[in-house]
Amino acid sequence: MPPSLIEVVDLVKTYPVGDSGTVPVLHRLNFTIDAGEFVAIMGPSGSGKSTLMNILGCLDIPSDGRYVLNGTDTARLGPDELAALRNRTIGFVFQGFNLLPRKTVEDNVALPLLYAGVGREEREARARKLLEEVGLGHRVGHRPPQLSGGQQQRVAIARALANSPKLILADEPTGNLDTHTSEEIMALFERLNRNEGLTIVLVTHEPDVARHAQRLIHVVDGHIAEDGPVEEILGGVHS
């Protein structure tokens, strides 16, 4: 069996409160995610699922425990090595899209390539190709504010794919979208998982969104309440 893509061991995250006190957010989490999985992390507001996501995305660091990504213990890495992981191994998709509004769609998608040191022509070609893949080949010269929410999220997904990462992390990717657009975005994720073999971890609080995944990790109050196939936890297809 190949080693897991993600290995989380006794992961703890606490936040400082006041001068010396701390508030625990994540309590000794343990799980692994293999390459090729499509995992949904569900939980109510304040359950710590976004904190977990930020740690998985190397945007935040755990207070205790280990997070091993692709065979590397992230605790041993410096800021630049973490930046390299965010750049090449992980593609992050945010609820609020987080596109740079003054740049064109094409430049936004090409930005991770720029930080990877890819030359201009190659950047442009790759950005165009990615935008075509997400169905926005005709919008390369537009700026994000000129696009609809669904289109902006597609741009963000194209950006996440720029450096061919192993892992896509999506934090409430459909939170700002209507039901119809949400379905389209989720279909895009499913396609990427099925056709490209991309590992996708997404955070949501909507069962309908989670149902697109294969596995579901249910986080409640910083503990893992349930972990298993989506159908077993959520039951049969509804609505």
Is 143 buried (19+), middle (13-18) or exposed (0-12) by CB count in 10 A? middle
Q: Is 35 in the site for other proteins (CB under 8 A)?
A: no
Q: Is 187 in the site for other proteins (CB under 8 A)?
A: no
Among 92, 116, 121, CA closest to 106:
121
Nearer to other proteins, 27 or 88 (CB): 88
Among 84, 125, 140, 220, binds other proteins (CB under 8 A): 84
**Between residue 99 and residue 128, which ones bind other proteins under the rule CB under 8 A?**
99-100, 102-103, 111-112, 114-117, 120
Q: Is 60 in the site for other proteins (CB under 8 A)?
A: yes
Q: Is 92 in the site for other proteins (CB under 8 A)?
A: yes
* Residue whose entry in the numeric block shows the structure tokens 């935040």: 60
Cα separation, 233 vs 229, in Å, equals 7
Where do runs of H (alpha helix) occur along the chain? 49-56, 79-88, 105-115, 120-133, 149-160, 179-196, 207-210, 230-234
Q: Which stretch binds other proteins (CB under 8 A): 36-44, 86-94, 189-197, 227-235?
A: 86-94
Q: Is 95 in the site for other proteins (CB under 8 A)?
A: no
- Which stretches of the chain bind other proteins, using CB under 8 A? 54, 57, 59-60, 79-80, 83-84, 86-88, 92, 94, 98-100, 102-103, 111-112, 114-117, 120, 159, 163
